[in-house]
Amino acid sequence: MLLVNQIRDNFDGVLLGLKKRNFPNAQAILDQVISLDDLRKSSQTERDQIQAEANSISKQIGLLMKEGKKEEAENAKSRTAEIKIRIKELEEQTSKAEEDLKALLYTIPNIPHTSVPAGKSAEDNEVVLQHGEIPALFEGKLPHWELIKKYDIIDFDLGIKITGAGFPVYKGKGARLQRALINFFLDEALAAGYLEVQPPIMVNEDSGYGTGQLPDKEGQMYFASVDNLYLIPTAEVPITNLYRDVILNEEDLPIKNVGYTPCFRREAGSWGAHVRGLNRLHQFDKVEIVQITHPDQSYNTLEAMSGYVQGLLKKLELPYRVLRLCGGDMGFTSALTYDMEVFSAAQERWLEVSSVSNFETYQTNRLKLRFRGEDKKTQLAHSLNGSALALPRIVASILENNQTPDGILMPKVLHSYLGFDKI
């Protein structure tokens, strides 16, 4: 979440950033933040002042009693009792102001980086670059939802039988392709200096608030109400929360973690060509990279992470493009996001396969994730993450772009992982 001082010190800049996001009632909400913070400060100041008065009176009471000034001592005791009542009132007032302020700050998204273009939807995103040639397929090409039936490698009907729509069953070479991609992505990350972790796939409420899924995306996550736990929408949540309430040493930065997990999202659609087949699922596999960095290095790190994900797409021989998301299409917690899209030759459209984002201090403020510099002072670190990569649309693109009349060719980089070169 935003820092109150960030809003106080750069009110107009924060307001402009929120307007770039098309955030409604920005002026009124920021004014309310300042008012609540003023109330919190004034209540705390008054409480401290009268507590000091009470401490002073307590010392005087003993002296007055020794001097035989009983009436003055009783008056002092009465004043002390009044102060105790007022202190309790002020503590309750301060606590409520803090809770209301925190709840309000949770509703305010991150401020976009200056390079983020204005815009309201995906139509306004900026194409940064495009790489690779669009494959020209033969007449009779099939979308992946037809190919998986033809070669019997993924079964949506079985998934519906077992669970419901959006939970496919991978089998045979389809299952092996999933496993090959996961291992390939993990091995590439390890070679790039990431430490592999295998986190839980359920998180508590504190973890959801820590990375910003709560309260913004509460309705989009599967919730186990009896245990008050959420199925993760991405490995970003548990991996980043490894460092909640942690003070790192500056020399330990950057922290680089990678993890594979299944991911769960309730909002996945179940009709229309744009969500058909593997295009949008309730459960899918993803390898996630997370970095915790020094604030001075986070945008260099973002560019490096974007380049790393592009390198994976190049090795998979998939044509792709990179988008800089506009203010209206960015995630709630992000300051700057690059989306990587792969071209699906059978569907003849671009499919998002990765988002790489810099959150600056938005998550780390919630997480209380800090580092200590040489001067022994602590400051908030910056957090970043990226999909490296999400499997469903990668699989869809591999199947569609590499289809031939007599089978589907596998990318060369996967041959050693698969044990076959063609489906």
Same domain, 101 and 136: no
CATH (domain of 248): 3.30.930.10
Q: Is 244 annotated as a binding residue?
A: no
Q: What is the DSSP string of 324-361?
A: EPPTTTS-TT-SEEEEEEEEETTTTEEEEEEEEEE-TT
Q: Is 355 annotated as a binding residue?
A: yes
Q: What angle do CA 351, 353, 357 make, to 5 degrees?
A: 125
Same domain, 96 and 127: no
- Residues, the chain, total? 423
Residue numbers of the domain that contains 74: 4-106
Pairwise CA distance, residues 246 & 251, whole Å: 15
pLDDT at 273: 52
Which of the listed residues 77, 106, 135 is the one where a domain comes to its end? 106
358 lies in a domain? yes
Same domain, 77 and 166: no
Pairwise CA distance, residues 210 & 1, whole Å: 9
Same domain, 325 and 393: yes
Pairwise CA distance, residues 120 & 139, whole Å: 38
Pairwise CA distance, residues 393 & 284, whole Å: 10
Same domain, 352 and 232: yes
Same domain, 157 and 189: yes
- The helix (H) or strand (E) run that includes residue 74 is helix 70-106
Please give the tally of structural domains in the chain.
2
Q: Is 196 annotated as a binding residue?
A: no
Q: Is 234 annotated as a binding residue?
A: yes
Q: In sequence order, what are the residues at sequence separation of 6 or more whose Cβ sits closer than 8 angstroms to the Cβ of residue 58?
A: 80
Q: What are phi and psi of 231, to 5 degrees?
A: -70, 135
Task: Tell me how far CA of residue 179 lies from CA of 159, 199, 286, 374, 398, in angstroms.
Answer: 18, 18, 11, 44, 14
Q: What are phi and psi of 172, to 5 degrees?
A: 55, -130
CB 140 within 8 A of CB 156: no
Q: Is 354 annotated as a binding residue?
A: yes
- Estimate the crossing angle of helix 26-66 against helix 70-106, to 10 degrees: 160
Task: Tell me how far CA of residue 69 lies from CA of 60, 62, 233, 246, 382, in angstroms.
Answer: 11, 10, 70, 54, 61
CATH (domain of 61): 1.10.287.40
Q: Is 74 annotated as a binding residue?
A: no
79 lies in a domain? yes
Pairwise CA distance, residues 111 & 122, whole Å: 18
Same domain, 325 and 394: yes
Pairwise CA distance, residues 314 & 413, whole Å: 10
113 lies in a domain? no
In degrees to the nearest 10, what's the CA dihedral of 93, 208, 6, 288? 170
Same domain, 88 and 236: no
Q: Which of 398, 391, 373, 369 is nearest to 381 (CA)?
A: 369
Q: Which of 35, 4, 32, 30 is nearest to 17 (CA)?
A: 30
Q: Is 288 annotated as a binding residue?
A: yes
Q: Is 374 annotated as a binding residue?
A: no
Which of the listed residues 106, 139, 164 is the one where a domain comes to its end? 106
Pairwise CA distance, residues 156 & 9, whole Å: 54
pLDDT means over runs of 10, the chain (423 residues): 96 97 97 97 95 88 78 85 93 96 97 96 97 93 97 97 96 98 98 98 98 90 96 98 98 98 80 75 98 98 98 98 97 98 96 98 98 94 98 98 97 98 98
In degrees to the nearest 10, what's the CA dihedral of 332, 337, 338, 342? -10
Where does 232-369 show beta strands of DSSP type E? 247-249, 255-264, 283-293, 320-324, 336-344, 349-358
CB 1 within 8 A of CB 108: yes
The pairing of beta strand 223-224 with beta strand 336-344:
unpaired
203 lies in a domain? yes
- Residue type at 185? F
